[in-house]
Amino acid sequence: MGLKKSITLAAITLISSSALTPLLSTSAIAGTFTVKGKCAFLLDQSYNEKCTILIKKGYISVLTGRSSVEKIFGQQISDFNLANKTTLRMDENLALYDSAVPWWTPWNKVPKWVKNATKKTNEQHEIVLGYVNTQLNNPANLVLITLDDPSKAAGFVRQLSKITGLRVGEKTIPGSELSPSLKLNLLRDAKKQAQRINGLCRQRMYNDAEPVLNELDTFAYNASNNISMFLNSETTITKIENISEGARQVCENEFKRELAELAAAERARLAAIRAREAAKRAALIRSRAAAAAAEQQKRRAAYDLLASY
């Protein structure tokens, strides 16, 4: 009875996290951590004998044998655990499984390696992730990953902790304190994107900067939504929004400065043209005046000559 209650609580926690939305970009992690193995998307009953799992820049990419890619950002992950009957939430009465046929039943032709993960003994290389994707009809998801090389399990778990701010068995619970590591990751990523934008705009590469600006705006929007369910998240939300707005303001100021410089240059160009035209007119006036004086002198001389006879 106690076990079923704990499983139900775990499922409720996962479903309650469905308010999370994917971030378009998260904090960078040096290099890429890559492992190979098998992966099963349990609620979709999708089993893949060959998968490549990459952890890079704050997200996981799961590449299946069908060349499809499932991208899971760290802020979408509600928890990760060593796989067993409890952590796989094997209770068909839970709302989590409303749209899925119980995958552990023998007539579903579930692969043996998936069934093996339901045993009570934990294996370090069998890991189950609970994650949220609000773009799906059922936003709560479970993926089982069985690594080919058990020696990489510890490193894989460490990378998961880096991108999620969670420890093994720890859950994202709405109303709890915002994780310091999650806060740091979000602010660091926002600043990194802002620095890139500032560099582009200061080089006056506005067309290149605009897509990155849009990404940062979307990042700030999603990040604010994601962490708003945490206690005392307002300060972090304000900082992220200020970083985004500040990056755009840098571009606006640089653009206005360039326009002012162009206007000044154009004014100088027009002034130079006017000065040249004025000099030409003055020279023409002097030339005409000299010609008129000479002509007048000739005319007077002619009249004087005629008057002398």
**143-152 pLDDT per residue, tens:** 899 888 888 8
Q: Same domain for 196 and 153? A: no
Q: Same domain for 72 and 143? A: yes
- Nearest to 192, CA basis, from 60, 59, 25, 54: 25
In the chain the beta strands, taken as DSSP E runs, fall at: 33-41, 46-56, 59-64, 69-73, 77-82, 126-132, 140-147
Residue with tokens 């708003």: 228
Backbone φ, ψ for residue 126 (5° rounding): -110, 110
- Evaluate whether residue 305 is within a structural domain: no
Structure tokens of 7?
């499983």
Q: For residue range 104-119, what is the model confidence (pLDDT) as tens digits? A: 666 667 788 888 887 7
Residue with tokens 């007048």: 296
- Evaluate whether residue 46 is within a structural domain: yes
Give the pTM: 0.58
Last residue of a domain, one of 260, 285, 300: 260
Q: Same domain for 117 and 42? A: yes
Tell me the C-alpha distance between 242 and 224, whole Å: 12
> What one-letter code names the amino acid at 172?
T
- Evaluate whether residue 276 is within a structural domain: no
Tell me the C-alpha distance between 189 and 239, whole Å: 12
CATH code, 16: 2.30.29.30
DSSP string across 70-134: EEEEGGGEEEEEE-STTTTT--TTSGGGTTS--TTSGGG---HHHHHTTSSS--TTEEEEEEE-T
pLDDT for 240 equals 92
- Evaluate whether residue 307 is within a structural domain: no
- Evaluate whether residue 119 is within a structural domain: yes
- Evaluate whether residue 288 is within a structural domain: no
Q: Same domain for 102 and 189? A: no
- Nearest to 64, CA basis, from 45, 51, 47: 51
Q: Same domain for 106 and 12? A: yes
Q: Same domain for 8 and 118? A: yes
Residue with tokens 């990751």: 185
- Nearest to 220, CA basis, from 248, 200, 198: 248
Can you name the residues that pair with 231 across neighbouring β-strands?
177
pLDDT for 21 equals 38
pLDDT for 243 equals 94
Point out the residues of the chain with pLDDT beneath 70.
1-30, 65-67, 92-93, 98-99, 101-108, 120-121
Tell me the C-alpha distance between 267 and 273, whole Å: 10
Residue with tokens 């985004």: 244
- The three-class DSSP label of residue 65 is coil
**By residue range, what is the domain housing residue 218?**
180-260
- What's the number of domains the chain is made of? 2
pLDDT for 198 equals 92
Tell me the C-alpha distance between 79 and 94, whole Å: 17
- Evaluate whether residue 173 is within a structural domain: no
Structure tokens of 236?
């972090």
